[in-house]
Amino acid sequence: MYLRLTSILSFFSLTSLFAQSNSSPLSIQHLTGDFYIYTTYNYYQGDRIPANGMYVLTQQGAIIIDSPWDTTQFQPLLDSIRIRHGQKAVMCIATHFHEDRSGGLEYYRQQGIKTYTTQLTDQLSQKRGMKRAEFLLTKDTIFTIGQYSFEVFHPGHGHTPDNIVIWFENQKILYGGCLIKSTEDTTLGNLGDASVTDYATTLQRVQTKCKNPAYIIPGHNAWTSTKSLAHSLRMAEKLRRKGKK
């Protein structure tokens, strides 16, 4: 009876841990195969905003792309990966210097996880007092971790000068971060570090590089549509025309 009760309690504990409710500080959803989207939340201009990240299970451990925006979820994300999949994270890469992407770099480095950004991201992080990675990329780079390969691609100045995308060509998975906006979004969001004139051209480079993606993951809001890149490009072109007036 005791063992049965313990099993029942454990089941409900795990169910609660992985609940996909917006009221949860951390939600995890399966994308495809070994790919998972995790979402944390924070406040921007008074609204509670979801921030998407991704992790990939490999034969060498889990790859985390972008750290949680909610600082209280740095460790719970690691715990979730360990409990749900029996894996440790071995790598974390941030797609630009803003806190919703890079905030957990120092914490993860202290846990023995290899952390990466581009050299440009590091320069901006240092200048703005943001968290920095241990390892710096000086050019577009292809990583092979376990059974998966992916390319880190810097298409140009868009949301920020340093924004990169992560392209899993074999799986046709494009992780766009905050450069790409959800089809739910009606604007390009925070333009404080953006380039009004270059944003559209930068997105066009992503289209050229990352052909026919089966999945596109934007930095915020809904991520199930493959039309988010084209949607973002239309908004960027409109922004450029407006800026020329």
Higher pLDDT, 114 or 21: 114
7-11, 16-20, 207-211, range with the lowest pLDDT: 7-11
Domain definitions of the chain by residue range: 26-244
pLDDT at 141 over 70: yes
Q: What is the average pLDDT score of the chain?
A: 92
Summarised one tens digit per residue, pLDDT across range 23-63 is 799 999 999 999 999 999 999 888 999 999 999 999 999 99
Summarised one tens digit per residue, pLDDT across range 147-193 is 999 999 999 999 999 999 999 999 999 999 999 999 999 999 999 99
pLDDT at 94 over 60: yes
pTM here is: 0.90
Q: What is the 3-state secondary structure (H, E, C) of the chain?
A: CHHHHHHHHHHHHHHHHCCCCCCCCEEEEEEECCEEEEEEEEEECCEEEEEEEEEEEECCEEEEECCCCCHHHHHHHHHHHHHHHCCCEEEEECCCCCHHHHCCHHHHHHCCCEEEEEHHHHHHHHHHCCCCCCEEECCCEEEEECCEEEEEECCCCCCCCCCCEEEECCCCEEEEECCCCCCCCCCCCCCCCCCCCCHHHHHHHHHHHCCCCCEEEECECCCCCCCHHHHHHHHHHHHHHHHHC
Output the CATH code of domain 26-244: 3.60.15.10
